[in-house]
Amino acid sequence: MEPITLTTDRLLLNPFTPGDADEVHAACQDPDIQRWIPVPSPYELRHAEEFVEVTVPDGWRNDSEYTLSVRLRESGQLIASSGLHHPRSGAWEIGFWMAKEHRGRGYATEMVLAMARWAFTDLACTRLEWRAEVGNTASRGVAEKAGFTVEGVQRSGFHGRGTLRDCWVASLLPSDLGLPCPVPYLPSNT
């Protein structure tokens, strides 16, 4: 798929470019990003260059991961990254990080909802999943504010830096956003 651009009232979500490596590198120096996101630690400039020059373009080309930079519309400053990955049976998983100085302003929820609407309307996504290591309360808060339903804990469900950890799992359905589902959904009666 060709990379796309999404806009919200305050944000511009568009493809990363090689020139974004310095900003990605700076944002990923945050200990919280290195703690909760499976990025290399320490995070070096070469990791950011590989991310924006190889990993992101390969994901779009292979239709395996659609990652976008997230910038403030007014200033153009990089504040986050968000991606859809691990497609299977109509479901996608969303992942994201937010630069420390921009947390707590609702940007992450706005970004997640933009990605969700795109997934449901353009990718025929039937279920959007969110997973985060148990304890990542900031990420869980974003998922809940965006309307995800926390379904429980997946034992040994998160792999990062050679360790398996338990993770929270949540889902968002098209109907949660008032959108039609491309496949009929028949919930259980229990």
Which pLDDT does position 87 carry in this prediction?
84
In the numeric block, the tokens 């339903």 are attached to: 149
11-14: strand order across its sheet: 6-7, 11-14, 65-72, 78-88, 91-98, 127-133, 163-172, 149-160
Nearest Cα to 100, choosing from 160, 11, 28? Answer: 28
- Single-letter amino acid code for the residue at 189: N
Class assignment of domain 6-127? alpha beta
Which pLDDT does position 190 carry in this prediction?
63
Which pLDDT does position 44 carry in this prediction?
97
The rounded distance, in Å, linking the Cα atoms of 103 and 80 is 10
**Gyration radius of the chain over CA positions:** 16
Which pLDDT does position 188 carry in this prediction?
86
Per-block mean pLDDT, blocks of 10 residues, the chain (190 long): 96 96 97 94 97 97 96 97 92 97 97 98 96 96 98 93 94 96 84
Spell out the domain ranges in the chain: 6-127
- Single-letter amino acid code for the residue at 144: E
Dump strand ranges (E) for the chain: 6-7, 11-14, 65-72, 78-88, 91-98, 127-133, 149-160, 163-172
